[in-house]
């Protein structure tokens, strides 16, 4: 017998208890900001499909733990910063090859900023729409990793200004290039260089005149730079 369940005080007619439990687990897993009653109630009102999208969007900012084959793009091979960070990069790529947990090298933002209601508000400006997402990951498919070698008490390595950007797939890890934090400024030279490297990698081998979609962002309000 299917019983009507209650989610946040609102009855969900004909919802099996297992679905209610699943919804509750999704909501509890995603770090909300602000972490208050209003943001909780906002999520509790969401359709299950929306919650799944929110969860995947947040969880995709992490990297599954498994050994991966490493390749390095020319832009990273020729970057002089590769030599200056040689020991740290070697140690990090050794972890990638072994299948160590790379979470300590990732951004710490997803730990507390997984979802915010303002990102879904009508006519929200780009700064709000992207406040709970990684633009580079969503638009280009690249994770970024800090090169610190010491793990701090909260569980992350030392934060470094220079970062490795990589395309991480199930069994491969392709180092795209090295950038400093200016790359997160849409109007910076580093961001322009990232787009250039991205286009070189994405369109390599594509025949002239071919049509290719490089970033599957479905919302038409998101331009190349989210404007």
Q: Are residues 77 and 54 in the same domain?
A: no
Q: What gap in Å lies between CA 144 and CA 189, rounded to an integer?
A: 17
**Helix and strand counts by DSSP (H, E) for the chain:** 9, 6
Q: Are residues 48 and 100 in the same domain?
A: no
User: What pLDDT is recorded for position 225?
Assistant: 59
Neighbours of 219 (CB within 10 A): 7
pLDDT of 120 over the 50 cut: yes
Query: Cα 41 to the chain's mean position, in Å?
Result: 25
Q: Can you give the pTM of this predicted structure?
A: 0.86
Residue whose pair of structure tokens reads 């990951």 in the numeric block: 137
User: What pLDDT is recorded for position 215?
Assistant: 58
Last residue of a domain, one of 59, 81, 101: 59
Q: Are residues 98 and 40 in the same domain?
A: no
Tally the domains of the chain. 2
Q: Are residues 5 and 91 in the same domain?
A: no
Q: What does the pLDDT look like over 200-223, one tens digit per residue?
A: 999 998 888 777 766 555 443 444
Residue whose pair of structure tokens reads 């795209």 in the numeric block: 176
* Beta-carbon contacts of residue 26 (< 8 Å; ≥ 6 apart): 51, 52, 54, 55
Last residue of a domain, one of 59, 86, 109: 59
Q: Can you tell me the mean pLDDT for 56-80?
A: 97
Domain extent, residue 5, equals 1-59
User: What pLDDT is recorded for position 15?
Assistant: 75
User: What pLDDT is recorded for position 209?
Assistant: 77
């Amino acid at each position: 017998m299917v019983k009507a369940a209650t989610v946040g005080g609102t009855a969900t007619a004909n919802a099996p208890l297992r679905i209610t439990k699943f919804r509750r687990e999704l909501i509890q897993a995603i770090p909300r900001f602000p972490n208050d009653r209003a943001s909780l109630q906002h999520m509790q009102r969401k359709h299950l499909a929306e919650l799944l999208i929110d969860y995947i969007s947040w969880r995709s900012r992490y990297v599954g733990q498994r050994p991966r084959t490493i390749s390095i793009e020319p832009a990273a091979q020729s970057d002089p910063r590769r030599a200056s960070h040689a020991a740290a990069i070697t140690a990090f790529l050794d972890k990638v090859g072994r299948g160590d947990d790379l979470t300590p090298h990732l951004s710490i933002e997803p730990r507390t900023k997984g979802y915010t209601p303002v990102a879904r508000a009508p006519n929200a400006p780009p700064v709000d729409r992207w406040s709970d997402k990684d633009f580079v990951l969503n638009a280009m498919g690249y994770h970024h990793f800090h090169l610190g070698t010491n793990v701090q008490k909260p569980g992350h390595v030392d934060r470094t200004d220079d970062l490795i950007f990589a395309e991480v797939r199930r069994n491969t890890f392709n180092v795209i290039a090295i950038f400093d934090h200016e790359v997160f400024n849409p109007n910076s030279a580093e961001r322009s260089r990232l787009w250039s490297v991205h286009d070189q990698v994405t369109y390599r081998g594509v025949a002239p005149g071919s049509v290719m979609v490089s970033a599957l962002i479905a919302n038409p309000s998101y331009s190349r730079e989210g404007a």
